[in-house]
Amino acid sequence: MKRIFTLLNFKNKIMSQKKNLKQSADTDKSFQQNIGNQNPTQDQDKPVTGEKIKVILNDVQVRSVDRSPKDVLTWRTGLIQAESVYYPNRQKLYDLYDDVLLDGHLWGIVSKRIDTVLNKQIYFEKDGKKVDALDKLIDSLIFRQILTDIMWTQMWGITGFEFIPGNEIDYRRIPRKHIKPKWQVISYEQTGEEGIDYTELANLWIIGDTHDLGLLLRCAPYALYKRGNMADWSNYIELFGQPVRVIKYDAYDEQTKIELKKILDNSGSSLALMIPKQADFDMKDGKQSNGDGELQAKFRNACNAEMSVVILGNTESTTSSDSSGYAQSEVHAKQQLEVTKSDMQYVRNMLNSNYFLNILKSYGFPIDGGKFTFTKSYDVEQLRERISIDVKLVNKLGLPIDNSYFYETYGIPKPNGYQEKSNVHQKKPDVQPE
């Protein structure tokens, strides 16, 4: 009897396990159907086809920027939400970006980096020749705005353009909080996931890396620290910026106390103290170690320097320190130049992308086979060093150098009727190389 009971119990366990396995298989099957056989931690990677044209911003519910007080915890929370692999949301982080951009130093260095590129001359060329048909577009305000938004992409991490169909080129910038690169949609709500698939729309242009949160991510904590420091500094000035008036009275003389109180009330608003003579009083105001506010000033300068390094790659091209000299400033200026070259290459890559060129083509611009390029700029100091080397190569070593090299290197226009038949500059070397 005991053996029969054991067999029945074993059979029930087997049946229960089979039932659980079946339920698990059904669950896995349902899960695969729901996510389309895709790992939910992976991003959508659909090709951008651009087969339709649709104005979508009228369907987007734009919300005001959150201007509530921010701190480093806000930055950390926003970063965690933006980096979530399941449901990334940049809303809190981007509201923080809008808030820290109120910092004067941060806004100034970002504007400096952007203006450096905007002030470079750019033109459209085809087969090595300038195309005049696009000069009006390049000189227009709308094109300058496009360049500005392309540059801001490096600060925010992503930018979206909605080009308006019509005879004249026009666009509206898509609110960044509504761009969801993980799902490749423009969401209806800034905290939502449902929206319009931007890979199917030809008039939408989304640029930036899926996981790039921009340079403002690294500047935000320093701007927040600086804001708190400035508040402490202003409080310090309010408390100790004026002399402290201390009046002592006899603890048992109430009439004198009343008269002294009236005198203090009528003699200004600076800090005043009334204490009995019998009391022991000692004021620890911190002015002996920080009497001129140097502590707060150093902290502010440190925060500004960190933000300058993040945005500009240096500090001396914006502000000067007590220890800076000409040599140090020159090194920092060269570093600034390298950042500008990188920005120019980035802008050029964006403008010459097939997607943007097709958008221009839809407005009737002759862009087939052409490309945008910046006018070559010349650094006088670099050219001075280079020409001394070129002269030695020709005169001392007799190295044959094409004449076109000198025209192109030093930006000298070729004369009318210039012939390429005699284009090698060579001189017999004065000293034979060993």
Q: Are 182 and 167 in contact (CB under 8 A)?
A: no
Please indicate, yes or no, whether residues 82 and 160 belong to a single structural domain of this protein. Answer: yes
Query: Is residue 354 assigned to a domain?
Result: no
One domain for residues 162 and 201: yes
What is the span of the domain harbouring residue 28? 1-37
**Residues 208 and 135 both lie in one domain:** yes
Q: Where residue 412 falls among pLDDT bands split at 50, 70, 90? A: confident
Residues 73 and 141 in one domain: yes
Same domain, 290 and 312: yes
Whether residue 232 is found in the same domain as residue 210: no
**15 has pLDDT over 70:** no
How many domains does the chain contain in total? 4
264 and 151 housed in the same domain:
no
**Residue 317 falls inside a structural domain:** yes
| pLDDT tens digits for range 25-55 | 454 444 344 444 556 667 676 777 666 888 8
Q: Does 362 fall in a domain?
A: no
Q: Is residue 347 one of the residues assigned to a domain? A: no
Two structure tokens written together for 116: 């450096």
Short-list 301, 295, 293, CA closest to 322:
301
Side-chain half-sphere CA neighbours of 42 within 13 A: 8
Terminal CA-to-CA distance of the chain, rounded, Å?
110
Residues 209 and 131 placed together within one structural domain of the fold: yes
Average pLDDT rounded to a whole number, residues 47-68: 84
Q: For 167-226, what is each residue's pLDDT tens digit?
A: 899 999 999 999 999 999 999 999 988 999 999 899 999 999 999 999 999 999 999 999
Q: What pTM, to 2 d.p., does this model score?
A: 0.76
Does the residue 170 lie in any domain?
yes
Domain identity same for 165 and 183:
yes
pLDDT in tens, 418-427: 665 445 555 5
In a domain, 351, yes or no: no
Sequence-distant (≥ 6) Cβ neighbours of residue 396 within 8 angstroms: 429, 430, 431
- Pair (210, 231) in one structural domain: no
Report pLDDT digits (tens) over 216-258.
Answer: 999 999 999 999 999 988 888 777 777 777 778 787 788 888 8
